[in-house]
Structure 1
Amino acid sequence: MTETLAEALSDIKNPETIHQILTADSTNIEQNSPALDSTDQPNLTDLYDRFLTRRQDRSPSTRSQYKRTILHFIEFAKDKEVARPSEISTELVDSYIDQLQGNYDADATIHTYTKNVRSWLQWLNNRNLCDESVYRILDKEEIGLSPSARDEAIPAVRANQLLQHLRTKKQGTKIHALPELLWNAGPRIGGIHSADLKDFDPESRELRFRHRPEMGTRLKNGDRTDGTSGDGERNVELSNHVVEALQLYIETIRPDVTDKHGREPLFATQYGRASRSTLRRWVYRATSCRWLSVETEDQACDGSCCPDSDVCPHSYYPHAIRRGAIVHHLSGGLRPDLASERFDVSTKIIRKHYDPRTKRQRKEDRAESVRNAWDAD
C-alpha cells in the first residue's frame, strides 16, 4: 500500500468502501506482476544455458562444476516431471537434498552441489521465475552442513596401508602411480591434469607444475604474469616411491599418445590427456574396498560395490588425499611457510585448516627456533 492510498483511506468513514478499494488495489497488483505459473516460461535447460553464457568470466573448472551440479538437479527435476521454474517447489528441493544425503557421506560434496544449485535458483528468482523460498532452504546452515577441510583429510595410517597394498598388487599401474603422487606431492587434480612427460625429471626426482592456458591446461593460481593472486608454478621434489611408480607406469602402461595440442601428457588414456573426471575415477578405484587389508574393522562396504563404475563407500576424493598429505607433512615438522610453497596454499589457510599442532606446540616450536638463533650469535 502506498502512502498516498493510506492517506486517502484515512478520510473514508465507510468500512465497506475501504474494503472495495483494497480489493481492487490487490487485484491490480496481481495483474501487473509477472506470474510465476506462466506456461510461457522457458524450460529449465534453456535457462541453465542462458545462466552459463552470462558466466564466461568464470574459470573452466568452475564452469565444469556448474555443468556437473546444476544439470544434475535439472535431471532430478525432470524425473519428477518438473520442466518450468515456476513448478519448482520447496518439496522438490527438499527431496533433492534427501537424495544427495543418501548418495554422499561427505558434507563438502553435498555443499558443492547445493551451493551451485542455490546460486542458479537465486538467479531465476531475480528474474521472478521461481519463488524465493526454493533457494533459501539450500543454505548450508539450514541443511546442517559442516564442510570442514580437516574432516576430509585421509588419515596417514589409512594412506600408508593403501599404498602398501597398491605397491604389492598394482605396482606401476595408473591407480598406483596417481595415489603415490597425490600423497607425496599433494597437488590439486588440476595440477596433475596439466603435467606433461617432460615435466617429470626422474634424475632430479622432481615434477614441474607449469601454467599453459594457451595450450589447453591451467593451474588454479596461474603464474606471476597472468594477473592472478598467486603463482601455482613450482618444482616439487618426489620420494623414491613416487619416482619408481611413475617410471614403471610410463615404461609399461602409459599409452604413447599426444593431446590435441601435440603435447605428451603424463597421465593419459588411449584418447589423449586424461581428463580431471577420469583422474578422479582412478582415485576412487584406487581407494576403494578392493585394496583394503583383510584385517580392517571398517565394515562400511560389504564388498558388493563396483569401484570401476561407482564410488565405493571406502573411496576418498583426490582433495582428501591432498589435505591428508599437507597435514602429514606438517606433523612431520615441515614449516608452514615451506608447506605453502610446496602445496601452493597460503600460510593463512594452512594454519586455519591443516596445521595439526596445538597452540602450545606452536609456541614451543617458535621458542626453539628463537633459542637456536641465540646460540648462533
Structure 2
Amino acid sequence: MSDLDPLPPEDAVDLYLDARRDDAAKWTVTSHKYRLRPFVEWCREAGIENLNEVNGRDLYEYRVWRREGGYSNANVEELAPATLESALQTLKRFLKFAADIEAVPEDLYTKVPIPDLSKTDEVSDSKIPPERIPPILDYLDRYEYASRDHVVVLVLWHTGARLGGVRSLDLRDLDLDSNSPAIEFHHRPDTDTPLKNDEASERHNRINAGVAQVLEDFIEGPRREITDDYGRRPLVTTTQGRACRGTIRETVYKWTRPCFVGEGCPHGREIEECEATAFKKSTKCPSSRSPHDFRKARVTKYRNDGVAREIVSDRLNASEDVLDKHYDRASKRRRAERRWDAIDR
C-alpha cells in the first residue's frame, strides 16, 4: 500500500471520467458517471476517504449494498441482475484505470464480484404490448393534435427511433413536401446530439403522409420557434431550446399510464388519490413505460406483421441478433405463428 498514491474516491472517479472522454461517446461517459455515483456514496458511508484502502472484501460488501438498493437515489428494494452486472462491470473498468494511475493494487479490479447472468437475467422484462400504442395515438390525434407530445409519441412509434435519435432531429432533417416524405437521422456529436452507434446510426427513414402532415402542422403551429446553443433549429423544442432527454422520457411515461387514455386503472387505485397522476411522478405508475419499451413494441409489431428481420434491422439501426434478444418481445406462441405463416404458403 505504501507504493500507492493517496486519492479520494470521488477524485479518482473524476479522473476516470475525464480520461474516458478521449475514447468513448458522450452517453457512455454519462452512463459511467451515474453508475459510479453509488460507489462514491458507499465509500463515504463506509468511511473510506482514500481509494488505496479498498480491498476485495470491500468490493463484495459494496455488491451486496448495491444489490439491495442501498444507494440513496435508488427507487427499488433490489436491483435487477442485469443492472447490477452493468454497474459492477463499470466499477471493474474504473478500478483497472485506478491501478494504472497507482491508486489501487494492480489486481484489485479482478476481485470485483461480477454476477453470472442467465439468458433471462440479461434481458429486461419491461415491455409494452404493441396493441396499447394505437389508442394512445388516437387520443392524441383527437384531443392534442400536432402538440409536442403528439409529435414525440408519433415519431417514436413510426420510426422506432431511440430517444436520442428523436432529440437529435432538426427541421432540416425532415422532408415533408415530397411525394416520399422522410426523416433523416444524423450523428452530430460536436453539437450535443450524438447517435448511439455514431455514423453507423445515420439513416433515411420514410414516413407516411399522415405522419408528415402532423409534423408540418406542429412546425407551423405549436412548435416554439427557437434555436439551440449551436444555432440549430430543433424539431422538439422547449422554452430553453432543444428538448432534453428527460423531457422526451417523461412524455412517454406520461402517455403510457392507462388512466391517461380513458382505460381506467388496472391496478385498483383510486385515480383521484394516486400520486402517479402528477406529471413529474408518472414513473410511479406500474404501467408507465419508457421510450426504450416503445422501441421494443415497434420491433414486435413489425415482426408480427411479417416484416423481414433485415428490413427491421436497417430501419431501426440494430443488428438482427440484438433485435431477437432485446427488442422482439413476442411470446413463444406468437413466434411459432410467425414461422408457420412463413412456411404455410
TM-score bracket for the superposition, by shorter chain length: 0.7 to 0.9
Is 1:71 matched up with 2:66?
Answer: no
State whether residues 283 and 318 of structure 1, in contact with CA within 8 Å, keep that contact through their aligned partners in structure 2: yes
**Larger deviation, residues 209-218 vs 174-183:** 209-218
C-alpha separation in 2, matches of 1:168 and 1:111: 44
Root mean square deviation of aligned Cα:
3.6
C-alpha separation in 2, matches of 1:309 and 1:41: 42
Structure 1 match to 2:187: 211
Match of 1:91 among 57, 61, 67: 61
* CA-CA distance at 1:240 after TM superposition: 5.1
State whether residues 255 and 261 of structure 2, in contact with CA within 8 Å, keep that contact through their aligned partners in structure 1: no
Distance 1:155 1:108, change over 3 A: farther
TM-score relative to the length of structure 1: 0.71
C-alpha separation in 2, matches of 1:108 and 1:240: 40
**Larger deviation, residues 173-182 vs 69-78:** 69-78
Aligned length: 324
**Larger deviation, residues 191-200 vs 343-352:** 343-352
Is 1:280 matched up with 2:249?
Answer: yes
C-alpha separation in 2, matches of 1:242 and 1:140: 44
Helix, strand or coil: the match of 1:54? helix
Structure 2 match to 1:52: 17
Structure 1 match to 2:123: 148
* CA-CA distance at 1:329 after TM superposition: 0.9
Structure 1 match to 2:342: 365
Structure 2 match to 1:163: 137
Structure 2 match to 1:308: 280
State whether residues 66 and 116 of structure 1, in contact with CA within 8 Å, keep that contact through their aligned partners in structure 2: yes
Structure 1 match to 2:104: 129
Helix, strand or coil: the match of 2:91? helix
Map Cα deviations across residues 326-354 of structure 1 (whole Å, 9 max, x no partner).
Answer: 11111111111211221112233334444
Distance 1:119 1:334, change over 3 A: same
1:244-259 → structure 2 map (5 Å cutoff) = 244-259=213-228
Is 1:319 matched up with 2:292?
Answer: yes
TM-score relative to the length of structure 2: 0.77
Structure 1 unaligned runs (5+)? 1-33, 224-230, 369-377
Structure 2 unaligned runs (5+)? none
Identity %: 25
Structure 2 match to 1:265: 234
Helix, strand or coil: the match of 2:283? coil
Match of 1:233 among 202, 205, 219: 202
Map Cα deviations across residues 13-65 of structure 1 (whole Å, 9 max, x no partner).
Answer: xxxxxxxxxxxxxxxxxxxxx169x9x72111110012123321111111111
C-alpha separation in 2, matches of 1:50 and 1:80: 22
* CA-CA distance at 1:316 after TM superposition: 1.6
Distance 1:87 1:324, change over 3 A: same
C-alpha separation in 1, matches of 2:263 and 2:223: 30
C-alpha separation in 1, matches of 2:116 and 2:144: 40
C-alpha separation in 1, matches of 2:98 and 2:299: 40
State whether residues 7 and 103 of structure 2, in contact with CA within 8 Å, keep that contact through their aligned partners in structure 1: no
* CA-CA distance at 1:275 after TM superposition: 2.8
Structure 2 match to 1:17: none
Structure 2 match to 1:41: 6
